[in-house]
Chain A
């Protein structure tokens, strides 16, 4: 099955001097959720921004590799063009227009045009959006700046849906949210995949939540992909369990120093 979205050896440099990501390759097959895990500063957000487009003022250059979307090379296109093609990002922060009401937020977008490939692009309507996010229906006239964190995330997802995406790029869905809210949102993302056939690239620090719904995963560290595999392989891998799931099963490591020494000595292969 050809991938809907594919990255090949992507390399991004900030301010002409700082390499943020290097040699990043990944694939997102249609109708599946792929997780991209990593700690702070690993380069996950940069990867998503490289896919969805930089503005000139970001002073970021894609100096190597390419982004292939639906078998077309789209590296370096401007963000609004990529969004209209169906590559929609739900950003980590600055995700809603705070001076606009919820209703206006849901209208402040330009959905991609209809084309022959209707099967992979869900025609989402406003009613459907309120069906998935009933909380928003009750807050239509409220300024988005006054919404809670969970509501903002829902509004961001809702507007992304209204853009009629083929691939949804979700950056740190769980950041700053309570565990119950995270569960609800993650379940919602899985529902969108099942009911609308959406492909999702889920960037997450919360590996447990992401791996609960994903089918494949990549692990990033220091700007590179260090491991990838199906979710079963990831859940079984020692280092994933140690560093990202907190369930390392080495017996005998009782003190903090021993844990730290173990973590430092481990190397990804």
Chain B
């Protein structure tokens, strides 16, 4: 069986292929078939879970581009999502609710924001960049809040279901197929970006910026490009968010949302598209997992009021645990498990320190 390493490629086509070995092709095929058939066998609750995961994955993949690949720390992710959602809201207010207009518009607004953030970000690194993006998040939310106060009902703006020609997108199953498909597209886009010249430039900048510059990579251009790609994709995710929830309100886009996305990419594993997806699944499913655990333990009544801080606290605890003990995230665990299987019965042992 070929495991993807030490496997020699003899044509350009095979080198460019996203899925190279037979094992991977079979696995991917099975996954696609399973996703296609899920609505037949799964309850609408399960479908909704997968839909939410897919939507989260889009945002997580976008953040992974910026923070995982290009090494630019951003705490302003929620601001970009809000930008996309509120672009949709603005268009709905202007009686232009079509997604064919809203999605590209959101992408453009996101790209523009990416330039606005990216150019000053050239001067900043690390903590300072994080703070700058956080400050920008608050400014964007302020602007969105102003819009909401003036145009929407005070609690928010209602978004009608998206309409493509005569067909209306609504219902759990339709949204499931739509978002899973879009997430799949974004995944392919993400993986291809990683393999492209831009992706390699980003990784060089992330690892050693001075060395990247000295081999001729235009650091400024690629940094801004990273912000633009990431915020454009995130804004599109925001627009989809608006359509799926059918409601846009500034309260939904607080700092905690940005933390959730950062948790997704760090718990999943920074720098890996698979990590972003795994992390998105983990963070999305965690509250439901806790619900299930609490129900299984059959805790006596009155549980509702402390369910929220419990979920909140469990999220914080798990994120801290991953940061301290498993910096490579779920992908790191997956790779270790896979290596163990592949290398068995041989093991790699690091040198032991003197006691």
Do A's and B's CB atoms come within 8 Å in the complex?
Answer: yes
State the A residues within 8 Å of B (CB). 11, 13, 16-17, 61-66, 75-76
Q: Which residues of B contact A66 (CB under 8 A)?
A: 354
Contacts of A62 in B (CB 8 A): 353-354
0/1 string, B234-255, CB within 8 A of A gives 1: 0000000000000000000000
Q: B-side interface residues toward A, CB under 8 Å? A: 350-354
Q: Is the CB of B350 within 8 A of A16?
A: yes
Bound CA span A66–B351, Å: 17
Nearest A-chain residue to B353, judged by Cβ: A61
Residues from chain B with Cβ under 8 Å of A16 in the complex: 350-351
Contacts of A75 in B (CB 8 A): 354
State the CA gap A16–B354 with chains docked (Å).
12
Determine the distance from Cα of A11 to Cα of B354 in the docked complex, in whole angstroms. 9
Which residue of the partner chain, among B350, B352, B354, contacts A65 with CB atoms under 8 Å? B354
**Secondary structure class of chain B's binding surface, majority of residues:** loop
Q: Is the interface of A mostly helix, strand, loop or mixed?
A: strand
Chain A contacts for B353, CB-based, 8 A: 61-63, 76
**Extra inter-chain contacts (8) besides given A61-B351, A76-B353, CB under 8 Å:** A11-B354, A13-B351, A16-B351, A17-B351, A62-B353, A63-B354, A64-B354, A66-B354
**Contacts A/B (CB < 8 Å), 16 sampled:** A11-B354, A13-B351, A16-B350, A16-B351, A17-B351, A61-B351, A61-B353, A61-B354, A62-B353, A62-B354, A63-B351, A63-B352, A64-B354, A66-B354, A76-B353, A76-B354
The docked-state distance in angstroms from the alpha carbon of A61 to that of B352 is 8
CB distance from B328 to the nearest CB of A (A): 15
Residues of A within 8 A of B352 (CB): 63
Q: A62 CA to B351 CA in the complex, in Å?
A: 10
Complex alpha-carbon distance, A75 and B352, angstroms:
15
Min CB distance, B355 to chain A, in Å? 9
Interface centre among B352, B353, B354, by most chain A C-beta atoms within 10 angstroms, is: B354
Q: Cβ of A61: which chain B residues have Cβ within 8 Å of it?
A: 351, 353-354
CB-based nearest A residue for B350: A16
A13 contacts across to B, CB distance below 8 A: 351
Most interface-central of A13, A17, A75 (chain B CB within 10 A): A13
Measured between alpha carbons, how far is A76 from B353 in the docked complex, in Å?
Answer: 10
Question: Please, how many angstroms separate the alpha-carbon atoms of A63 and B355 in the complex?
Answer: 8
Minimum Cβ distance to chain B for residue A164 (Å): 29
Which chain A residue lies CB-closest to B355? A76
B348 to chain A, nearest CB (A): 11
Cα distance A13–B354 when bound, in Å?
11
Which residues on the A side are within 8 Å of B351 (C-beta)? 13, 16-17, 61, 63
The CA of A75 and the CA of B350, in the complex, are separated in Å by 21
Taken together as a complex, chains A and B put the C-alpha atoms of A235 and B354 apart, in Å, by 36
Residues of A within 8 A of B350 (CB): 16
Residues in chain A near residue B354, CB distance under 8 A? 11, 61-66, 75-76
**A76–B354 CA distance with the chains assembled, in angstroms:** 9
Q: How far is the CB of B296 from chain A (nearest CB, A)?
A: 40
Q: Which 8 A-B pairs have the closest CB atoms?
A: A61-B353, A16-B350, A62-B354, A63-B354, A13-B351, A63-B351, A63-B353, A16-B351
B324 to chain A, nearest CB (A): 14
Cα distance, A11 to B353, chains bound together (Å): 10
Minimum distance in angstroms from B247 CB to a CB of chain A = 48
CB distance from A14 to the nearest CB of B (A): 10
Docked CA distance A12–B337 (Å): 30
Give the shortest distance, in Å, between A75 (CB) and chain B (any CB).
7
Residue of B nearest to A19 (CB): B351
Q: How far is the CB of A74 from chain B (nearest CB, A)?
A: 13
Closest CB-CB distance, A64 to chain B, in whole Å?
Answer: 6
Nearest CB of chain A from residue B145's CB, rounded to whole Å: 43
A65-B353 Cα distance, complex, nearest whole Å: 11
Once the chains are docked, how many angstroms separate the CA of A61 from the CA of B353?
A: 6
Contacts of A76 in B (CB 8 A): 353-354
Bound together, the chains give a CA A102 to CA B282 distance in angstroms of: 54
Q: How many Å from the CB of B327 to the closest CB on chain A?
A: 14
